[in-house]
Chain A
Amino acid sequence: MTSGDYSEKPVKKYSLTKLLRESKVAQGLFLISPANLYLFILMVLPLLLVTGLSFLSRGTYGQVEFKFNLTNYTRLVDPLYAKVLVYTLYVGGATTVLCILIGYPLAYYIARAPTRQRSLLLFLILLPFWTNFIIRIYAWIMILREGGILDTILQFLHLTKTSLSILYTPTAVMIGMVYEFLPFMVLPLYTSLEKVENSLLEAAADLGAPPWKAFLRVTLPLSIPGMVAGTILTFIPALGMFVVPDLMGGAKTILIGNVIRNQFLTARDWPFGAAASMLLLILTLAFTLYYTRKAGFSEDLLI
């Protein structure tokens, strides 16, 4: 076929096909449109709705009234909510730190295991996801409740006489949170630890570093990207968590996630719930920006 074949066909002046044929920009936009559509429907649109909602008013019967007002935001300044917010940050932070402390040795062990065992161990890390999260939380309730599995075992071994009464305490919330987010810390940590070549540790030893110094100077710095990724994947969702405090904290432990949920479902004050959501969103965004600027967010972070 020669190029003459094209010129002979009559072409409409502003046809889409002509545009796509001639413009690289149009081709590019066309090809990424599925992704754009996806982002628009699932992210931009809901976000616009929530933003808009947060400036409206609650009607007497819990309906949304189209009256502009800022009180949703001014109400958030209340010390009561400030306290919830601080506590949320504390729980999120503690969850993240505990996930690092427990997840790091685990990820290290998997990364150093023989290749054949590695995939099995990773599979075991992911296995819990096969069961619904709520069901797994109820399993924890069975374990921790008074006279539950943990109490039974401890009393059978004559280690304790009375119940530990862990369920419906902040400790129970902590256990549930760490349990839920641990895989999100272990997986990125594993990815970066697995990339630390053995020859680097040999080089460190060769240059006079005993194992613990080699760990501090070589392994640990090289696993920072994994820790950053794991922290983002743990801390941010932990801030918005409401199921664990609800079910395992006996509704005594209130996080910002519970506040938002209650406004939408119990108090039927959608505009205020939306304002609280916006606060959480801004907080998360600020944290992510600050943290990644400081720790250096690059493409190899999540690979």
Chain B
Amino acid sequence: MERQFVVEFHDVVKIFPTPEGSQVNAVDHVSIQINQGEFFSLLGPSGCGKTTSLRLMAGFEWPTSGEVIINGKPMGRKPPYLRPVNTVFQNYALFQHMNVFQNVAFGLEMENVPKTEITRRVGEALEMVKLGKMGRRKPKQLSGGQQQRVALARALVKRPEVLLLDEPLGALDLKLRKEMQLELKALQEQVGITFIYVTHDQEEALTMSNRIAVMNKGKALQIGGAVEIYERPNCRFVADFIGETNFLTGTVKAIAKDKVSVMLPALSKEIDGIGQGNLSVGESVAVSIRPEKMRLADDNGKEVSGLRGTENLLKGKVITTAYIGSDTRLVLDLGGGVQMRAWEQNDISTLDPEAYYHSGDAVRIYIPFENTLVLPEEVS
């Protein structure tokens, strides 16, 4: 039997006309499969098509081509009120003329649920989001965080198959946002409903999601777990968008079994790394090296312990240092106009200035070959 996904995109395209008269592919041939009970995030910069994708699931937009399938049923042009999904809107979209209770009860009234059951279920939903005593307040009398919870309760009370969340924490301050992230995650595990979460905040996506789809310019570039997309990005954009990294540009010189050699013209040096995607000799590539994934040593000719001998070795000079407590952030000059950021963990505790790097120090940079990622410029 074929595996049942709760939400599927089959080669979905959504084209919008622009005010200038041209067309824009807001969603460009996207295929996604989302499992039952999953916390799935759509992550990308603004205008990448993540919100449009969510609106295609909710039914506010219909695909130009391709198919949106929910619970195995093609949605076609089904309107939002006939779909088994509910949405938490970015600006909450609470009904200002109704109190909290009436807001949450609205969806159940639409299903003609009996009055006593409505009272019970709304009470439970408000209890769940810790607003048990706020039922009679109007939305305007609540704080941003509380309004957010009302929006959540209003959607969850319907017991949807899938809950769609469109940057629900975007309007909250940082501290509250962190709290709500954990609460949302706990809530999702408690109710067991599939959450599809749109965000531009990579940390939010990494913290909460089982899987993440990284989107850019309407395309879903990579879909995978937090570790996968951070450690093994499949293209330059994903490596750049998730976390911080250094890029060295070069051309593929040779491809061995799982080792790719890249010529770096700026440094006149060859470097080995793990190739991602279908690379071919002669292709121009981006070599991604994350600032925490390298090892520095003084360039004094002394042997460095704990090396395997397979590391790439680069040489450089320290330009600036910034001590930030847990680590020291350095900017290195590799010559040929190439700079690189390196984060040295402060795993020793000493006041001795000799133990730290200073600007002007010459350093050797050891980069394990598996920390050196050879990425195509674009996903094929």
Distance (whole angstroms) from the CB of A211 to the closest CB of chain B: 8
Of A199, A208, A217, A221, the contact of B158 (CB 8 Å cutoff): A208
Provide the A194-229 mask, 1 if CB < 8 A to any CB of B, else 0: 000101101111111110010001100110000000
User: Does B51 belong to the interface (CB within 8 Å)?
Assistant: no
In the complex, which of the residues A197, A199, A210, A222 has the most CB atoms of chain B within 10 Å of its own CB atom? Answer: A199
CA distance A194 to B298 in the complex (A): 68
- Are A203 and B93 in touch, CB under 8 angstroms? yes
Task: Tell me the chain B residues, 87-124 only, with Cβ under 8 Å from chain A.
Answer: 87, 89, 91, 93-97, 106-107, 110-111
CA distance A197 to B96 in the complex (A): 11
- Are B58 and A206 in touch, CB under 8 angstroms? yes
A205-B79, A208-B111 known; A222 vs B158 contact (CB < 8 Å): no
Of B85, B86, B93, the contact of A200 (CB 8 Å cutoff): B93
CA distance A218 to B110 in the complex (A): 13
Residues of A within 8 A of B60 (CB): 202, 205-206
CA distance A221 to B87 in the complex (A): 23
- Interface SS, A side: helix
- Are B81 and A210 in touch, CB under 8 angstroms? yes
A199-B89, A217-B106 known; A206 vs B81 contact (CB < 8 Å): yes
A207-B158, A209-B81, A222-B96 known; A202 vs B107 contact (CB < 8 Å): no
Chain A interfacial residues counted at CB < 8 A: 17
Residues of B within 8 A of A209 (CB): 81, 106, 110
CA distance A297 to B356 in the complex (A): 70
User: Does B154 belong to the interface (CB within 8 Å)?
Assistant: yes
- Are B97 and A204 in touch, CB under 8 angstroms? no
User: Does B144 belong to the interface (CB within 8 Å)?
Assistant: no
User: Does B224 belong to the interface (CB within 8 Å)?
Assistant: no
- Are A202 and B93 in touch, CB under 8 angstroms? yes
Provide the B51-75 mask, 1 if CB < 8 A to any CB of A, else 0: 0000000111000000000000000
Residues of A within 8 A of B85 (CB): 206
Distance (whole angstroms) from the CB of B359 to the closest CB of chain A: 52
Distance (whole angstroms) from the CB of A195 to the closest CB of chain B: 10
CA distance A158 to B154 in the complex (A): 59
Provide the B150-171 mask, 1 if CB < 8 A to any CB of A, else 0: 0000110010000000000000
CA distance A161 to B60 in the complex (A): 52
Distance (whole angstroms) from the CB of A226 to the closest CB of chain B: 13
Q: Which residue of chain B has the shortest Cβ distance to A224 in the bound complex? A: B97
- Are A202 and B89 in touch, CB under 8 angstroms? yes
A218-B95, A222-B97 known; A204 vs B87 contact (CB < 8 Å): no
- Are B87 and A203 in touch, CB under 8 angstroms? yes
Residues of A within 8 A of B111 (CB): 208
Residues of B within 8 A of A213 (CB): 110
CA distance A199 to B60 in the complex (A): 10
A205-B80, A205-B81 known; A221 vs B97 contact (CB < 8 Å): yes
Interface footprint category on B: 20 to 34
Provide the A42-68 mask, 1 if CB < 8 A to any CB of B, else 0: 000000000000000000000000000
- Are A208 and B96 in touch, CB under 8 angstroms? no
Residues of A within 8 A of B96 (CB): 222
Residues of A within 8 A of B106 (CB): 204, 207, 209, 217
CA distance A121 to B110 in the complex (A): 35
- Are A203 and B89 in touch, CB under 8 angstroms? yes
Residues of B within 8 A of A200 (CB): 93, 95
Distance (whole angstroms) from the CB of A196 to the closest CB of chain B: 10
Q: Which residue of chain B has the shortest Cβ distance to A214 in the bound complex? A: B81
Distance (whole angstroms) from the CB of B217 to the closest CB of chain A: 25
CA distance A202 to B79 in the complex (A): 10
- Are B154 and A207 in touch, CB under 8 angstroms? yes
Residues of A within 8 A of B94 (CB): 203
Distance (whole angstroms) from the CB of A68 to the closest CB of chain B: 52
Q: Which residue of chain A has the shortest Cβ distance to B96 in the bound complex? A: A222
CA distance A208 to B113 in the complex (A): 12
Residues of A within 8 A of B80 (CB): 202, 205-206
CA distance A202 to B111 in the complex (A): 17
CA distance A217 to B109 in the complex (A): 11
Distance (whole angstroms) from the CB of A218 to the closest CB of chain B: 6
CA distance A206 to B89 in the complex (A): 10
Distance (whole angstroms) from the CB of A201 to the closest CB of chain B: 9
CA distance A205 to B106 in the complex (A): 11
Distance (whole angstroms) from the CB of A73 to the closest CB of chain B: 44
Task: Tell me the chain B residues, 16-61 only, with Cβ under 8 Å from chain A.
Answer: 58-60
Task: Tell me the chain B residues, 349-366 only, with Cβ under 8 Å from chain A.
Answer: none
Residues of B within 8 A of A207 (CB): 81, 86, 106-107, 110, 154-155, 158
- Are B95 and A203 in touch, CB under 8 angstroms? yes
Of A199, A206, A217, A218, the contact of B91 (CB 8 Å cutoff): A199
Distance (whole angstroms) from the CB of B339 to the closest CB of chain A: 45
A213-B110, A217-B106 known; A206 vs B95 contact (CB < 8 Å): no
CA distance A204 to B93 in the complex (A): 9
CA distance A172 to B58 in the complex (A): 51
CA distance A84 to B3 in the complex (A): 79
Distance (whole angstroms) from the CB of A295 to the closest CB of chain B: 13
Residues of A within 8 A of B91 (CB): 199
- Are A206 and B110 in touch, CB under 8 angstroms? no
Q: Which residue of chain B has the shortest Cβ distance to A208 in the bound complex? A: B110
- The 10 closest A-B CB pairs, nearest first, are A208-B110, A207-B107, A203-B93, A205-B80, A199-B93, A206-B87, A221-B97, A208-B81, A205-B81, A206-B80
Known contacts A202-B58, A202-B60, A213-B110; 7 additional CB pairs below 8 A are A202-B93, A203-B93, A203-B95, A205-B80, A206-B80, A207-B106, A210-B79
Of the A-B pairs whose beta carbons lie under 8 Å apart in the complex, a sample of 18, sorted by A's number, is A197-B93, A199-B89, A199-B93, A202-B93, A203-B87, A203-B95, A205-B60, A205-B80, A205-B81, A206-B85, A206-B86, A207-B86, A207-B106, A207-B110, A208-B158, A209-B110, A221-B97, A222-B97
Interface residue ranges, B against A (CB under 8 Å): 58-60, 79-81, 85-87, 89, 91, 93-97, 106-107, 110-111, 154-155, 158
